[in-house]
């Protein structure tokens, strides 16, 4: 059976992610675990994250899962969510924090002072609410397989003050505009990750999880 483990390192919206995965892929075996052996046995991993980057990385180091996660990320399909996406990068400006280094790049804070939205209101940080995601990165033709069945520029739910900046533009799997264009989805080899929350994004969020459960990178 396809075994998907939601990595429990002490941070993240674990139950909501697991419930969404069970709804999207009822044929899969979905588990929440903080055990090294469970990560080693898993066919696929979901890395959630919520709160501050220094806290998430600190909890990951303290959990004893750091090395097991890095090893699994070399070959197993991995889906990062929100801060779980940011953790994949080399470094974050939030607390001057080193990440996992699985995707080259950094994480920066929105600087939107003085910028106005179409209705004349100021952009607020954090971005909180629904926004569109475009599936083209402007480098490769076609969308990533995990977007299968999801219309381009569909709405997804965001809550964040920081965003990822990949070094290689081909690692961008989705773009969103919030005062500026930024990478709202990234991908490399067996890794796919989103800044938005699929588990809070209704039918298209569930479809991403369904596609991930069947993905063969």
Known catalytic residues?
A: 82, 197, 199
Q: Note whether 38 and 76 are within 8 A (CB).
A: no
Q: How far apart are CA 42 and CA 159, in angstroms?
A: 29
Q: How far apart are CA 210 and CA 152, in angstroms?
A: 17
Q: How far apart are CA 191 and CA 73, in angstroms?
A: 7
Q: What sign does the CA torsion over 72, 137, 50, 197 have?
A: negative
Residues in contact with 21: Cβ distance below 8 Å, sequence separation at least 6, in sequence order: 4, 6, 28, 30, 46, 209, 213
> What are the C-alpha distances in Å from 25 to residues 22, 68, 199, 213, 215?
5, 25, 13, 7, 12
The residue behind tokens 């929105």 is: 110
């Amino acid at each position: 059976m396809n075994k998907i483990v939601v990595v429990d390192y002490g941070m993240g919206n674990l139950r909501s992610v697991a419930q969404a995965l069970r709804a999207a892929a009822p044929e899969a075996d979905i588990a929440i675990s903080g055990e090294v052996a469970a990560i080693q046995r898993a066919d696929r991993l979901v890395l959630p994250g919520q709160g501050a980057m220094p806290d998430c990385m600190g909890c990951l180091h303290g959990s004893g899962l750091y090395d097991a996660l890095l090893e699994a990320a070399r070959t197993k399909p991995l889906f990062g969510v929100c801060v779980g996406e940011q953790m994949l990068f080399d470094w974050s400006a939030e607390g001057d924090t080193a990440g996992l280094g699985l995707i080259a790049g950094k994480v920066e804070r929105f600087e939107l002072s003085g910028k106005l939205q179409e209705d004349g209101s100021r952009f607020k940080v954090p971005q909180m609410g629904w926004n569109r995601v475009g599936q083209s990165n402007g480098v490769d033709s076609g969308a990533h397989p995990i977007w299968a069945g999801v219309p381009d520029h569909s709405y997804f739910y965001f809550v964040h003050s920081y965003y990822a900046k990949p070094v290689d533009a081909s690692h961008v799997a989705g773009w969103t505009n919030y005062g500026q264009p930024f990478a709202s989805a990234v991908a490399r080899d067996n890794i796919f990750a989103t800044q938005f929350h699929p588990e809070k994004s209704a039918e298209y969020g569930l479809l991403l999880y369904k596609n991930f459960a069947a993905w063969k990178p």
